[in-house]
Amino acid sequence: MTQEWKKTEVKNIAKLINEYNIIGILNLSKLPASQAQNIKRNVRDHILIKTVKKKLIHKAIDTAKDNKKGLDKLNEIDVAIPAIIFSNMNPFKLFSTLKKSKEKTYAKAGDTAPFDIIVPAGDTGIPPGPAIGNLTKVGIKASIQGSSIKIIADSKVISEGEIISAELADILQLVDIKPMEIGINLTALYENGTIFEKETLDLNLDEYKSQIEKAYTSSFNLAFNSGYPTKEVMPALIGEAHKNALNLAVNSNVANSETIEIFIQKAQQQMLSVASNLPEDAKGNIKTAEPQETTPKDTNKEETKEDKTEEKSEEESTSGLGALF
């Protein structure tokens, strides 16, 4: 007969499953109890973790699966020491939060190397003695220099995926290398009918952001160059159309409120260009040289004088260039 406390536990877990949007399975293997308690305290504001026997977790999921489509797939996740996690955080943010809670630790015999482990060159601070022979045995290039053992070149001692021996584990601790991470391992999360496994959740955020920015730029360029109107592209398309219309109007000598100023500036430049090639007695009062800079004290006076000169030059330009037009 099933014990009453087990029925109550299953009922409570099923209730939590219905209350939270995110439900996940954790792997607590090789995690000391004290470490697990510390992590629970650090994340308890946003995450609830329940350490329950595997059979009770499966029964609770079976009890609540009718209310959450696809939830029963979590029962296919097989871990040695499971726990169930509840949260309303975004799945990727939740994974990142748990990942940040991990701590570096020394390797133990039987651990799998998480990456290629390289012992860097440098002074170990270890006094001369039997240690140099042990270093050499695991492939570390070392020599005695002065009062300590020095590693003379970077030395790869194991490749990713290989099993760490007891001998190598001792050496890595001796040279203070902590290749392992200790913490809660999230194996899978459920959200709204979808199961997210660890490989999907473990994102390189900088690379992901860069890919999104590149995709946005490429799609924007495609929409712009193909003339496809969207909220983001329309301002650029309108600006391009305005520029093309203005160029067409100017090249076709169509006068309007936007082109007239361009025509006047162009005529002014052409007039000054012609005037610069005339003899002095034919220029009248037209000035072809740039006006000299004035001191701040005389700025207002000079501007007033220049305005009058421009007005006069427009009137007299006809007499000076009359023979040309």
What Rg, from alpha-carbon coordinates, does the chain have?
Answer: 39
Complete edge-to-edge strand list for the sheet that includes strand 122-123: 122-123, 148-151, 142-145
CA dihedral 278, 283, 286, 289 (to 10 degrees): 40
Q: Say if residues 184 and 26 touch (Cβ distance below 8 Å).
A: yes
Q: Say if residues 191 and 110 touch (Cβ distance below 8 Å).
A: no
Place of tokens 């009453």: 4
pLDDT of residue 283: 67
pLDDT of residue 284: 67
Give the model confidence (pLDDT) of 269-313 as tens digits.
Answer: 888 888 888 777 766 666 655 544 444 444 444 444 444 444 444
Give the model confidence (pLDDT) of 196-230 as tens digits.
Answer: 988 888 887 788 889 999 999 999 999 999 989 89
pTM of the predicted model, to two decimals?
0.53
Place of tokens 């029964």: 59
Q: Which pLDDT band holds residue 66 (cuts at 50, 70, 90)? A: confident
Mean pLDDT of the chain: 82
Give the model confidence (pLDDT) of 110-169 as tens digits.
Answer: 989 989 999 999 998 888 888 888 888 888 888 888 888 999 899 999 999 999 999 999
pLDDT of residue 215: 94
Number of residues that make up the chain: 325
Backbone phi and psi for residue 299, each to the nearest 5 degrees, phi listed first = -55, -50
Query: What would the two tokens of residue 128 be?
Result: 């001369």
